[in-house]
Amino acid sequence: MVVGIVGLGLIGGSLAKAYKEAGATVYGKDTNELVQQFALMAEAIDGELDDRTIGECDLILIAVTPHSAVAWFTENAPKIDRRTITIDCCGTKRYVCRHNFQTAEKYGLIYMGGHPMAGKERGGFKYSSEDLFRNAPFILVPEKCDNMELMEKVKKMIMTAGFGRVGVTTPEEHDRVIAFTSQMPHVVSNGFIKSDTALVDSQMISAGSYQDFTRVAYLDEKMWSELFLENRDNLMQEIHRLISSLQEYENALRDEDREQLEKLLADGKAAKTAVLEKCGPEQMNGEGR
């Protein structure tokens, strides 16, 4: 299999390494020439994804931000072979899929949205690894689900990189859920760590929950701000829900209402139990970029 990777940061670099580990020929392209050369020296890629090699690819994965993904696909669509499967790996889906579905139809190409549900708090090729996606889920967002032979082919291609399962959804459903499961934790963690208390030797008086909760506060502000704005309607709704919920806790504390506080805590525990019963613990591990 020949795989092309657009963007050699944490996700793209890890995809390149995973496919190389699986025996694929990998071509890569990054806007930073130094990163691209480093990936070549590290043997994460076999060469550059360019006008010559793009036509050789069985699979192209676009691992950049939504606007950059649309720009790259629009510019390079005429060079892509009609048998090639192209999948973006962006963190939001409505914008990128809307534009790229249209481009794919114009040129008769096979394109799907996608989202590898794995990551680390630190980005860049330096932190990429061939096992990042081991047993992780990958979400596919096709325009249509009426070609089961194609879907099975794509699933096999994706799982070659180590993914444990492949799910299918719509752009709208993806963005609605990702606002809660991924974007909200990043917003809350990033806001929480700004407390002055964090600077008063908080490492000495802290448990594992503090480290877990603040891990994703360290983020790429340029990438995440674009993703947040792309999905602002869903994210704002989740923020409003959380503010309303926190207000209930604040009111109970202000009023020294232990009965109400116990009820709020019990309700939260029950909600967590319900999620575990419905989804199972293995599906509670979302992506951590």
What is the mean pLDDT for each group of 10 consecutive residues in the chain (289 residues)?
98 98 98 96 97 97 97 98 98 98 98 94 92 96 94 97 96 98 96 88 70 88 95 98 97 98 97 88 49
Q: What pLDDT does 286 receive?
A: 46
**What is the sign of the dihedral through the CA atoms of 52, 53, 54 and 55?**
positive
Q: Is 140 helix (H, G, I), strand (E, B) or coil?
A: strand
Q: What pLDDT does 209 receive?
A: 85
- Ranges assigned E (strand) in the chain: 2-6, 25-29, 47-48, 59-62, 85-88, 110-116, 137-141, 165-168
d(C-alpha 287, C-alpha 120), whole Å: 8
Which of 115, 110, 67 has the alpha carbon at shortest distance from 90?
A: 115
Q: What pLDDT does 198 receive?
A: 85
Q: What pLDDT does 236 receive?
A: 98
Contacts of 216 (CB under 8 A, 6+ apart): 121, 185, 186, 189, 190, 288, 289
Which of 161, 140, 173, 178 has the alpha carbon at shortest distance from 287?
A: 178
**Helix extents (H) in 81-200:** 94-107, 148-159, 171-178, 184-192
Query: In this structure, are residues 113 and 97 in contact, taking their beta carbons and an 8 Å threshold?
Result: yes
- Ranges assigned E (strand) in 107-220: 110-116, 137-141, 165-168
CB atoms within 10 A of CB 161: 26
Q: What pLDDT does 279 receive?
A: 78
Instruction: Record the pTM.
Output: 0.90
d(C-alpha 133, C-alpha 164), whole Å: 8
Which DSSP symbol is given to 175? Answer: H
Which DSSP symbol is given to 91? Answer: S
pLDDT, tens digit, 9 for 90 and up, residues 146-193: 899 999 999 999 999 999 999 999 999 999 999 999 999 999 999 999
Q: What pLDDT does 87 receive?
A: 98
Q: What pLDDT does 280 receive?
A: 67
Q: What pLDDT does 203 receive?
A: 62
Q: Is 180 helix (H, G, I), strand (E, B) or coil?
A: helix
